A and B are shown apart, each in its own frame.
Chain A
Amino acid sequence: MSAFSALIARELKLAFRAGGEALVLVLFFVMVGVIVPFAIGPDRPMLTRLSPGIVWIAAFLSTLLGLDRLFRADDEDGSLTLLRHSALPLEAIVFGKLIAHWLVTAVPLLLATPVLALLLSMSFEQWGRCALALLIGTPALTAFGAIGAAVTVGLRRGGLVAPVLILPLAIPVMIFGVGMMDPMTGGGATLFLLALSLVVTAFSPFAAALALRAAGE
């Protein structure tokens, strides 16, 4: 097993064994969808109309909530220092952790979308577009989040700063993600979202690794 896949396997193991929070995040994602009807009323046509926005807000919030576990635990128990001295470059390590984090936090969200689709009375077609948009858009969210998590890793009170830094930067993801669910503009938005996801995922390991090095000095 190569070092890269071993790293991903380690991350997955850590996430699903005791103390893993992956399922709690899914629960949070569904809960955000559940409380919205209480806030705006159980009007089904209106819920259908608002559902793309609600799903994306829920995805944003649960991604931001999960950010803190990306590097913090490794920094606290010292394994981040070990990883920095491994044969793999730090950029590759960050990329591996990013993939593992996406698998643990974003894929469960995708699996939970049918529940939200039912609750928010989305049509089958709408649900399909929504799941596809989340599939394309969540890598960008996770990648932006990795920068935020890396930048705040050395802070004792960093938990709140990372979301505040990342939210404005991630606005384009939200715009194109919701735009993708609109049948009129879906095509262009899909391409933009794909491009954004690819660029941010390629770019973020370098920025995050730079920040981790600066924090570790």
Chain B
Amino acid sequence: MSVTAVKQPNWFSRLAHPGQFLSWSRYFVWPLAILTAIGFAVGLWFAFFASPEDYQMGDMVRVMYIHVPNAWLSMLVYGTMAVSALGSLVWRHPLADVANKAAAPLGAVFTAITLFTGALWGRPTWGTFWEWDGRMTSELVLLLIYLGIIALWRSFDDQSKAGRIVAIVTLVGAINIPVIHYSVEWWNTLHQGATVFTASGPRLPGSMLVALLTMLLAFTLFFALLQIVRMRTEILRRRAETMSRQAALKGVAA
């Protein structure tokens, strides 16, 4: 039979085929949602009730349990996008385009939450919402890069063409982000001595560490959940678009 002569794709490319993805990822949505909910419940309980106040900052230290996981995600999401950009450029994988498109707004939101909670935290502890500190400035630039990528996605009519081009920008950004980070740090030490972030981080007591790690896990699961749901939505949206085009074509023919 000629059908068997066709080379079977390996498990990886079968897993990543958009249609296959839709069928297997269905089984991940609810378990992930439940795990995320449990993670948040446990993490928030630790964060609010089972961890001590800071001896200097008091209850304000609890902002950390939101702030740090979001900062971690702001970088993890860009890493995800960079990997998917490689997928679009090297293997021309349609699912990699979808992953990049799904992740960009998530990354922007996580970065914005990091900046927002950082400002809320900074006001009572350092006396200012915003300081041109190296890390904060890099995070702000990262937000601008995310927004630029979203703007680029939105400016294409043909989303299948946009994928590879956005992938190039994503990779250029990925190479450039360390340069931006170090140049900002160089610039900051130029203008003013290190002021706020000098301490190498407080020694966390065990209960705080447990709360922080649980929240980190919960937020990461949350990202995985949102990413899968957004990817599924995007694939379905593309299908709907194709179907409406076919329907329009039929309408013209008939």
Q: Report which A residues bind B (CB closer than 8 A).
A: 147, 151-152, 154-155, 157-158, 161, 164-165, 167-169, 171-172, 175-176, 179, 182, 185, 188, 192, 196, 203, 207, 210-211, 214-215, 217
Contacts and interface: CB of A to CB of B under 8 A. Distances in A.
Contact of B183 (A151, A158, A176): A176
A158 B155 contact: yes
B31 interface: no
Nearest to B163: A214
A119 to B, nearest CB: 26
A171 B180 contact: yes
Interface in B135-178: 141, 144-145, 147-149, 151-152, 155-156, 161, 164-165, 168-169, 171-173, 175-176
Interface residues of B, number: 28
A214 B141 contact: no
Contact of A171 (B156, B168, B184): B184
Given A151-B169, A167-B148, A207-B168, 11 more contacts: A151-B165, A152-B152, A154-B161, A157-B155, A161-B148, A164-B148, A165-B151, A168-B180, A182-B190, A207-B171, A214-B161
Contacts of A175: 183-184, 186-187
A210 B148 CA distance: 19
18 contacts: A147-B172, A152-B155, A161-B151, A161-B152, A168-B148, A169-B145, A169-B172, A171-B141, A171-B183, A172-B176, A175-B183, A175-B184, A176-B183, A179-B190, A185-B190, A192-B186, A214-B164, A215-B161
A157 B155 CA distance: 7
A161 B154 CA distance: 10
Contacts of B169: 147, 151, 165
B20 to A, nearest CB: 25
**Most central of A155, A164, A168 by chain B CB within 10 Å:** A168
A59 B46 CA distance: 52
Nearest to A163: B148
Contacts of B141: 168, 171
Contact of B165 (A172, A185, A188, A214): A214
A192 B182 CA distance: 11
B39 to A, nearest CB: 33
B194 interface: no
A211 B184 contact: no
B100 to A, nearest CB: 14
Nearest to B177: A169
A168 to B, nearest CB: 4
A179 B179 contact: no
B196 to A, nearest CB: 20
A196 B180 CA distance: 11
Contacts of B161: 154, 214-215, 217
Contacts of A164: 147-148, 151
A134 to B, nearest CB: 18
Contacts of B179: 172, 196
**Most central of A147, A165, A192, A211 by chain B CB within 10 Å:** A165
Contacts of B186: 175, 179, 188, 192
Contacts of B172: 147, 169, 207
B187 A179 contact: yes
A168 B144 CA distance: 6
A168 B173 CA distance: 9
Contacts of A158: 155
